[in-house]
Amino acid sequence: MTPIGAYAFQEAPITTLTIPEGVTEIGSNAFWRCRSLKKIAIPGSVTAIDSTAFTTAQI
């Protein structure tokens, strides 16, 4: 299991993101306040996304 942990990208000034194959879950608030994030590619290996993973992101 390869997760993206809680608050991993907190307030990061990223606009696009491609999550690599092999990541299996996206944790709580992983992209919290990533207000510049407009586009994200999520591979089929991701089987769980916390309901707060994209809180206040703009996507």
pLDDT tens track of the chain, all 59 residues? 899 999 999 999 999 999 999 999 999 999 999 999 999 999 999 999 999 999 876 66
Confidence at residue 5, expressed as pLDDT on a 0 to 100 scale: 97
What is the maximum span of the chain, computed from C-alpha positions, in angstroms? 28
Q: Assign domain 1-59 to its CATH architecture.
A: Alpha-Beta Horseshoe (3.80)
| Domain limits, the chain | 1-59
Confidence at residue 28, expressed as pLDDT on a 0 to 100 scale: 96
In the β-sheet with 3-4, what is the strand arrangement from edge to edge? 3-4, 25-26, 48-49
Measure the CA–CA gap between 21 and 32, rounded to whole angstroms.
22
Confidence at residue 15, expressed as pLDDT on a 0 to 100 scale: 95
Residue tagged 């290996």 (tokens): 45
Q: Say what the pTM is.
A: 0.87
Confidence at residue 58, expressed as pLDDT on a 0 to 100 scale: 63
Number of H helices, E strands in the chain: 0, 5
Confidence at residue 55, expressed as pLDDT on a 0 to 100 scale: 84
